[in-house]
Structure 1
């Protein structure tokens, strides 16, 4: 073999090896996962996303999930549109944040609709949630994991129990249904994502807030408030905060990758199911440790709130949201 021919064959082999390596690299796809909570600090929603990332890495199907916590990639309420457009692949997302585009989503933060953590799990497999997930899917988003979090009230001024204790306080709620109920009790409303509660209280913009047990701890709101109303046996506040994925991103994956994501999502969901109740107790423990007064609503307090909710949130939802009446009926049918 001539020296020229050997050089040609060697060069050809090198080009071929680079082509194979380039092809293998191109097969690897990185998915961007975004959420608003602090990363690496024990927030259960961040942990759900981290579980998905770890499980996908273990599955070895040419996928990687890169997690962007703390609203570092998209602002909290911008994540929905980013998923619909395919600009964001995965998000841990409080669904009611998208109720401006899909008002039916407010049913997933309707005062008193979810009775407790066990009831939330039953709702996941109900016709009510089938309808909600159809709207999610039709909008161009896929559910990877279900998650419900309980929540409570906190105030920089005084303890919130019955509706009369809310009068005159400027408060934040996560969505329209809660805002309507709180306004019905005489509160002034300031709308914002939970990531902005701390600063709003610090600057005097807010007197009080509703949010999840997880967010009350992760955002260190105990540094700003005098009194916490824990979820207790009469939690009015339950919010659906699933792990979602852009359908455009989903459709680009092969079958093995889709199966791996579904399995990872299931594992994350099982984690949250185990954690959910514990988040409520952690909330109480952390706030007491930091000198915040902790109180519980009585059955009478909760009943008085529900009466206001029927006249405000439920009525508005049934009257103004397409299919709202049927959605509420389906949710109430789940014992």
Structure 2
């Protein structure tokens, strides 16, 4: 073989190697094209994840989480599938939280009250009357204060908070009217398995009874508890109006839940997959926010006009009296959790 042929072969080899190097310079995620020649996702192996929660199929959070799954699938060209398991199919909220910690649950939507058992300072989210309205709570739970509170869970339990979803104000439901603070005395009220919720109703003179959400309906039927408190959509979509006669618009807690992923799972995903999931949860948050904000008054009217529930409005004076009665709980959290500055910051955030 003469020198000209050798030189030509060498040039062709260099060009081929350069082309291959450029074509694979995307961090190990090959860029593919679909049948129409359009650029598609660089994720080369299908990713399947599960997300558990305790909400009903018709609830705003479930609809938002289904939207989240659909958005992820679309953005990844079907390469990432997140299967949603509602209504405690994967266990109650405490089970889900422990599964996230152990890495046996991929993703979950869990109330911040239950997560107080893993990060005690999250209990400030559930202090009665600490949030003025939905805009106020959003500035906290999805802002820099929230980020500071979630960081220890990532470091200590390996649980990554992706987004907080607002659930709306919680009201009181019972079979006897309870529009005043004095009406709460000794009443057995079902509450989530949260120290802050227990403390709230203790401070208001009631007898709080922690139990999983799935046990509530039969507990009201059988008289295990006399009352419960929750946001309006749960009463409507889970037919809880069937076991109550009265609703009191206490608005004592503006509740939130956290959409979380096990870090053991998330850290193994390709960067592109992580980016897609993070983008999709932002869009799903907007779906949830819209459903909650627009649905609350409609739910109240449904309970009053269609389901025969008598709605008792709490006056500003009564609400102030309730807030004053709960001051001892604020003092307890400020002292025991060194959360005084945190509480002040939340209350003074505009």
Normalising by structure 1, we get a TM-score of 0.85
Q: How far has the Cα of 1:126 moved from its partner?
A: 4.1
Q: How far has the Cα of 1:51 moved from its partner?
A: 1.1
Asked if structure 2 preserves the Cα contact closer than 8 Å seen for 1:86 and 1:248, the reply is yes
* Among 189, 200, 213, the residue aligned to 2:232: 213
Asked if structure 2 preserves the Cα contact closer than 8 Å seen for 1:34 and 1:92, the reply is yes
In structure 1, the partner of 2:13 is: none
Structure 1 residues 215, 193: CA separation in 2 closer, same or farther (over 3 Å shift)? farther
Alpha-carbon separation, structure 1, partners of 2:222 and 2:214? 14
Alpha-carbon separation, structure 2, partners of 1:299 and 1:137? 40
SS at match of 1:242: strand
In structure 1, the partner of 2:24 is: none
In structure 1, the partner of 2:118 is: 101
Pairing 1:300-311 to 2, within 5 Å after superposition: 300-311=317-328
Q: More relative contact order in 1 or in 2 (CA 8 Å, sep 6+)? A: 1
1:54 aligns with 2:70: yes
SS at match of 1:144: strand
SS at match of 1:229: strand
Q: How many residues align?
A: 305
In structure 2, the partner of 1:29 is: 47
Alpha-carbon separation, structure 1, partners of 2:187 and 2:320? 21
Pairing 1:200-279 to 2, within 5 Å after superposition: 200-230=219-249, 235-279=251-295
Is the radius of gyration larger for structure 1 or structure 2?
Answer: 2
In structure 2, the partner of 1:198 is: 217
Residues 33-56 of structure 1: per-residue CA shift (max 9 Å, x gap): 1001122x2x11111211111011
SS at match of 2:210: coil
- Of 81-90 and 26-35, the range deviating more from structure 2: 26-35
* Among 121, 134, 154, the residue aligned to 2:172: 154
Residues 124-143 of structure 1: per-residue CA shift (max 9 Å, x gap): 35443232222332231222
Asked if structure 2 preserves the Cα contact closer than 8 Å seen for 1:172 and 1:210, the reply is yes
In structure 2, the partner of 1:128 is: 145
Alpha-carbon separation, structure 2, partners of 1:160 and 1:193? 23
Asked if structure 1 preserves the Cα contact closer than 8 Å seen for 2:165 and 2:285, the reply is yes
Alpha-carbon separation, structure 1, partners of 2:144 and 2:65? 27
1:314 aligns with 2:330: yes
Alpha-carbon separation, structure 2, partners of 1:140 and 1:25? 24
SS at match of 1:134: helix
Alpha-carbon separation, structure 1, partners of 2:61 and 2:84? 12
Residues 148-173 of structure 1: per-residue CA shift (max 9 Å, x gap): 22233333332222211111310022
Residues 3-54 of structure 1: per-residue CA shift (max 9 Å, x gap): xxxxxxxxxxxxxxxxxxxxx9992121011001122x2x111112111110
Structure 2, unaligned runs of 5 or more: 1-41
SS at match of 1:38: coil
SS at match of 2:326: helix
Asked if structure 1 preserves the Cα contact closer than 8 Å seen for 2:52 and 2:107, the reply is yes
Alpha-carbon separation, structure 2, partners of 1:209 and 1:278? 23
Asked if structure 1 preserves the Cα contact closer than 8 Å seen for 2:118 and 2:153, the reply is no
Q: How far has the Cα of 1:181 moved from its partner?
A: 2.7
Alpha-carbon separation, structure 2, partners of 1:25 and 1:320? 47
Structure 1 residues 123, 25: CA separation in 2 closer, same or farther (over 3 Å shift)? closer
In structure 2, the partner of 1:80 is: 97
Q: How far has the Cα of 1:283 moved from its partner?
A: 2.3
Alpha-carbon separation, structure 2, partners of 1:125 and 1:60? 25
1:332 aligns with 2:350: no
Alpha-carbon separation, structure 1, partners of 2:302 and 2:116? 32
Alpha-carbon separation, structure 1, partners of 2:285 and 2:124? 21
Alpha-carbon separation, structure 2, partners of 1:127 and 1:57? 29
